[in-house]
Amino acid sequence: MTSLPTETPSTGVAQHISRLAAFAVSAEARPARLGCLGAALLTIGGLGAGSTRLHDPLLESLHLSWLRFGHGLVLSSILLWAGVAVMLIAWLWLGRRVIDRSATEYTMVATTGFWLAPLLLSVPLFSRDTYSYLAQGALLRDGFDPYVVGPVENPNSLLDNVSPIWTTTTAPYGPAFILVAKFVTILVGDHVVAGTMLLRLCMLPGLLLLIWAAPRVARHVGANGAASLWICVLNPLVIVHLMGGVHNEMLMVGLMMAAIALTFAGRPVIGVSLIAIAVAVKATAGLALPFLVWVWMRQLRDKRDMPAVRAFAAATAASVLIFVAVFAVLSWLAGVGLGWLTALAGSVKIINWLTVPTAAANLINAIGGLIFPVNFYAVLEVSRIIGILTIVIALPLLWWRYRHTDRDALTGITLAMVVVVLFVPAALPWYYTWPLAVAAALIQTRPAIAAVAGFSTWIMVMWKPDGAHGMYSWAHVLLTTACAVVAWYSLYRAPEPTPEARNQPSVS
């Protein structure tokens, strides 16, 4: 009797490596190779033009400190922006393959690895938040409560690189992320470079969860998995801002999307547990929980033949108990309370045009100021109050309106996040990765994909490598808008898939 051949783990790994090697030299990998070049340029240029340390002995020891000043800074800036341009071109090139359905999920996953590898070695890009994360982790490590005091209370070399606006601000992040930051600072001490690298590696599980979950959610609602990955994983806002910039949104979004995928798959207990962990990273993930209660309710009603009211009560009670239990354990492990919720108001310090209230105040000040005196900060306070009221009114209405199907749940979560991002007092570029991740399964028509390309390009080019923005420079705004229009048009005019391509699976 002949035994059947079995695949050992080493054989499986060898097959994956062989497949990746074959992909790397194939025509299918051209966007991957081009984007890898762009990421390498970003990494090199970031040494001088990125969100670098104020005093960098590593660059000095390598005799590269000249990259941060004078002609060296000009060269670094050219290399960095060339990297951004090359990565955007590669992303749009891949987007055309998404539209004609010639791209597969494997292409997207392998391409992610090509684009990410160089950025794992880069300095923080387009944001200095990673320095704040490390300083807040050091607070907990050294016996301070980061929800009571700001980094300024714990002088060390980490504090030197925190943006002045955040040195006195308490941590607005949940206990799970504060634990991660504490873990990093315990391992590397106050070493900024090692801390940045390790913290970026701590974001990788979020990216892997997003890669795992996004296509599953898409297939659950009859959408294309490869298109979903293009929108919410390979998007430069994710690769460059979340991973290159080392933002905790990467963990939050990955956990949230995994929670949605598992709940859709009939495992709501694990799903709600992951939502609790996601909220313990950043509070925004909590917007998804009320909609997942509807999903759980329908599963109880359909599988256990429960009356709707009883199923809703059971799903709600179980969700609350699981959420509270998981969150309490994480808070206990971190040794902190709920003080971080009060720190969420710290975003009022940010003033840019990315939210409706702040944009409205800026317009009133700019236009109205030509006719009569305007107190900008008084107008801003009123517009932000109106924005908060808009959120408070809209969220319950969305929760009730989008309750009937799993697709409704995705739509409701997306719209809830869009409302929050648009009407909170202030937003930052990477905030838009929240709704994009959830909406990736819903916005896969050619016009929608083109709109995603144009919008993402606009946000990407508008932000400067050191974390500032160009919204008060007309030249920068016009250049950014021109780039966004080119990106939109390049995909809006892309050829639609043939009937044969429409029927091809995207998972191969």
Q: Is the pLDDT of residue 138 over 80?
A: yes
Residue 174 lies in a domain: yes
Residue 116 lies in a domain: yes
Residue 366 lies in a domain: no
Placement of tokens 């919008």 in the chain:
455
Full-model pTM: 0.92
pLDDT class of 460 with cuts at 50, 70, 90: very high
Q: Is the pLDDT of residue 503 over 60?
A: no
pLDDT for the residue 2: 45
pLDDT for the residue 297: 96
Q: Which residues contact 339 (CB under 8 A, 6 or more apart)?
A: 145, 147, 148, 170
pLDDT for the residue 259: 97
pLDDT for the residue 154: 86
> What is the average pLDDT across 344-358?
76
Q: Which residue has the higher pLDDT, 269 or 4?
A: 269
Residue 242 lies in a domain: yes
pLDDT tens readout for residues 147-199:
888 898 988 888 888 888 888 888 889 999 999 999 999 999 988 888 999 99
Residue 381 lies in a domain: no
Percent of the chain with pLDDT over 90: 61
3-state secondary structure of 338: coil
CA distance 63 to 330: 44
pLDDT for the residue 3: 47
Boundaries of domain holding 134 = 28-350+428-497
Residue 396 lies in a domain: no
Residue 237 lies in a domain: yes
Q: Which residue has the higher pLDDT, 51 or 243?
A: 243
Q: Which residue, 201, 58, 196, 208, is CA-closest to 127? A: 196
CA distance 58 to 44: 14
pLDDT for the residue 4: 46
Residue 162 lies in a domain: yes
Q: What's the number of domains the chain is made of?
A: 1
Based on its alpha-carbon atoms, the radius of gyration of the chain, rounded to whole angstroms, reads 23
Q: Is the pLDDT of residue 505 over 70?
A: no
Q: Is the pLDDT of residue 109 over 60?
A: yes
Q: Which residue, 300, 238, 236, is CA-closest to 269? A: 300
Q: Which residue, 265, 258, 254, 275, is CA-closest to 318? A: 275
DSSP secondary structure code for residue 497 in this structure: P
